[in-house]
């Protein structure tokens, strides 16, 4: 009985720590990258997938007419993305982590592809899983 209670307490603590960590990421990124207050979510894109997969993702983002979030791309080259025909027409802001702090500081793993940050949670997605990602945007 005592063991069960301890286990339950540990689980609750674990969950609390986990939730706080995700929340911290969201606020940290908001502050560090000047994400507008109006953005309910930030989609962090680590371009680790193939170029063709990324092009498809960008066209899907464009066609979804998103309005309440922001994109944060981890790349030393912002020009490559800003001149993308789909990204250049988006209504939401596109920000860049050109020094790749998010990976260097260990906030994200180099193998992560997409991370959707909201004030209460963060979720990982693969670049080719648009259906799951879209359900959580806007």
Partner 1 sequence: MIKKISPLFFFICFGLACNDKEVSIVEIILPFEVVEKIQIDLDSVTTTKNIRTHLIESDSGRILVTMPMNPMVMNFYNLETGKKFKSINFSNDGLNRVGSLDGFEVYNSDTILITSYPPMISIFDFEGNKLNQVKIEAEDQYIQAIMSNNTIPIIRGNGKIWGAYPFITRFWETPMKDASNFNHIYEIDLKNLSVNWLGLNLPDGFWAKGKISPRFSWTNRGDSLITLFDEDPRVQVFSVRGNRILDIIDLKTPEEIDFIRYFDKSTGYDAVRKELDKGVFRSIQYDRYRKIYYVFYDMPANPELYSIPIYELYVSRPNFKLFLFDQDFKYIGESVFKDYAADPYRAFVGKKGLYVPVNREYNENYNEDFLMYDIIRFEGLNYED
Interacting residues with partner 1 (CB under 8 A):
46-50, 76-80, 82-83, 98, 100, 103-104, 110-111
CB of 129 to partner 1, least distance (A): 17
Nearer to partner 1, 63 or 109 (CB): 109
CB of 128 to partner 1, least distance (A): 14
Nearer to partner 1, 54 or 116 (CB): 54
Please report where in the chains the tokens 């790349």 appear, as a residue. Answer: 75
What's the distance, Cα to Cα, between the start and end of the chain in Å?
A: 45
CB of 133 to partner 1, least distance (A): 19
Residues 6+ apart with CB under 8 A from 53: 127, 128
Helix, strand and coil content of the chain, in percent to the nearest 5, comes to: 45, 15, 40
């Amino acid at each position: 009985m005592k063991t069960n209670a301890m286990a339950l307490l540990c689980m609750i603590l674990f969950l609390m720590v986990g939730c706080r960590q995700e929340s911290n990421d969201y606020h940290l990124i908001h502050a560090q990258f000047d994400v507008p207050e109006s953005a309910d979510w930030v989609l962090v894109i680590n371009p680790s997938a193939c170029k063709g997969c990324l092009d498809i993702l960008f066209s899907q983002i464009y066609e979804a007419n998103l309005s309440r979030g922001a994109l944060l791309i981890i790349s030393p080259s912002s020009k490559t993305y800003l001149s993308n025909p789909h990204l250049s027409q988006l209504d939401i802001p596109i920000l860049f982590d050109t020094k790749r702090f998010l990976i260097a500081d260990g906030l994200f793993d180099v193998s992560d592809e997409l991370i959707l940050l909201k004030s209460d949670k963060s979720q990982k997605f693969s670049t080719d899983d648009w259906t799951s990602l879209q359900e959580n945007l806007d």
